[in-house]
């Protein structure tokens, strides 16, 4: 059994794999000062929270609301319900939204892509409402779908009154729920085509030009930051959901209710710094990885078969924490023929600090039939011949 344990530890170093979801924050309290009302630092592949502050407190989040609007737009494109080239005619409602906007004219037509870019880069309220009306027929139906999607994502402490985040009674979410919808948004590679644009412009049908400047200054100031959504109102304070990637690990920092724009960006940067300095993803198992050595077969037309893992596992841990991981194989001394490739043979338990946190199946990597008379003769003859 010790031989198998060593083997599994070797396999753990082969390649990264999807992470396992863990419950609760890894840190019992924020390890750094957080200059905001609510915050979450999350690793999105697993959904694991590294640390949080008042993460379940319901709050207005201003234009961070648009994370959900952007997500629905990206999902519509992926589902074929819209294309980037679709012409979208701007309604009076959309053109009159106020707040942050790209000054769209009622009646003008813009490609879906321009409106999407305006949402992501410039946090444009008019573009957001225009996309919602195009996809769902009205702004209210768009908002209804935003709330439905929030429930599907398990965002139990979220309710949207509008798609823009403009102040409205009963419009709220939490830092934890913002992180959840940000995770979902980041699953769409198209998002990153626009999220790192710093400066751009929108050309209107009249020939007029509106400048776009990215509201997330961390994409210029923080190494590895490649996306995020800002928001600010007097009710919400200064808010941000940002993402950064370093060394193959991505993090999401949510900051809500900061007192200034500088405070929200500085807080998010400090959260990223702590996460990247202290944590990393440890690949434990990769599905299909073969085990060195073979399992003896009783009554088979082969004397032994190869085994492989069935399941992926990566753990988010503090650096150096891999020494607390144990891999405990549960394998029989032999297996009985017949077996098909993929048949369950045993398992390996993954223990952290002595507590089993996961189990990975071990399966046959090849098929083996029952031994017949001819197989028996060949095996006996072979042993006799080479004695």
Q: What is the pLDDT of residues 53-75, one digit of tens each?
A: 999 999 999 999 999 999 999 99
Q: What are the residue ranges of CATH 3.40.710.10 in the chain? A: 38-278
**pLDDT tens by residue, 305-361:** 999 999 888 888 888 888 888 888 899 999 999 999 999 999 999 888 888 988 999
Q: Is the pLDDT of residue 267 over 90?
A: yes
Instruction: Select which of 118, 123, 163, 195 is catalytic.
Output: 123
Instruction: Select which of 38, 66, 117, 241 is catalytic.
Output: 66
The rounded radius of gyration (Å) of the Cα atoms in the chain is 27
Q: CA angle 297-299-304, nearest 5°?
A: 20
User: Could you say which architecture CATH assigns to the domain 2-17+286-385?
Assistant: Sandwich (2.60)
Across 111-145, b (16+ Cβ under 10 Å) vs e yields: ebbbbbbbbbbbbbbbbbbbbbbbbbeebeebbeb
Active site residue 66: yes
Active site residue 138: no
318 is in an annotated binding site: no
Domain 38-278 adopts which CATH fold? Beta-lactamase (3.40.710)
**32-46, 172-186, 188-202, 315-329: least confidently modelled range:** 315-329
Q: What are the residue ranges of CATH 2.60.410.10 in the chain? A: 2-17+286-385
Instruction: Select which of 63, 195, 232, 241 is catalytic.
Output: 63
Active site residue 91: no
């Amino acid at each position: 059994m010790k031989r198998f344990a060593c083997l599994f530890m070797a396999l753990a170093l082969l390649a990264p794999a999807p992470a396992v979801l863990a419950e609760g924050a890894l840190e019992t309290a924020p390890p750094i000062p957080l200059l905001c009302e609510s915050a979450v630092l999350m690793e999105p592949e697993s959904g694991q929270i590294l640390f949080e502050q008042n993460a379940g407190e319901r709050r207005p989040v201003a234009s961070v609301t648009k994370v959900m609007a952007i997500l629905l737009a990206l999902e519509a494109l992926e589902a074929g319900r819209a294309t980037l080239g679709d012409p979208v005619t701007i309604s009076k409602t959309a053109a009159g939204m106020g707040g942050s906007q790209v000054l769209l004219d009622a009646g003008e037509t813009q490609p879906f892509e321009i409106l999407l870019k305006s949402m992501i880069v410039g946090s444009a309220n008019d573009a957001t409402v225009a996309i919602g009306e195009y996809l769902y027929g009205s702004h209210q139906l768009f908002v209804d779908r935003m709330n439905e999607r929030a429930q599907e994502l398990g965002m139990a402490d979220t309710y949207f009154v509008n798609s823009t985040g403009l102040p409205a009674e009963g419009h709220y979410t939490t830092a934890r729920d913002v992180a959840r919808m940000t995770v979902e948004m980041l699953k769409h590679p198209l998002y990153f085509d626009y999220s790192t644009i710093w400066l751009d412009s929108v050309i209107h049908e009249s020939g007029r030009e509106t400048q776009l400047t990215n509201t997330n200054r961390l994409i210029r100031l923080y190494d590895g930051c490649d996306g995020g959504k800002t928001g600010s109102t007097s009710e919400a304070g200064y808010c941000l959901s940002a993402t950064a990637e370093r060394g193959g690990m991505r993090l999401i920092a949510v900051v809500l209710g900061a007192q200034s724009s500088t405070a929200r960006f500085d807080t998010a940067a400090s959260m990223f710094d702590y996460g990247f300095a202290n944590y990393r993803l440890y690949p434990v198992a990769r599905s299909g990885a073969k085990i060195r050595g073979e399992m003896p077969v009783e009554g088979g037309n082969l004397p032994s078969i190869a085994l492989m893992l069935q399941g992926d596992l990566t753990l988010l841990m503090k650096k150096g924490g891999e020494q607390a991981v144990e891999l405990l194989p549960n394998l029989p001394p032999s297996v009985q023929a017949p077996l098909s490739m993929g048949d369950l043979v045993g398992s390996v338990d993954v223990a952290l600090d002595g507590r089993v946190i996961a189990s990975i199946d071990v399966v046959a990597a090849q098929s083996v039939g029952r031994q017949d008379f001819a197989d028996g003769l060949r095996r006996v003859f072979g042993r006799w011949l080479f004695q």
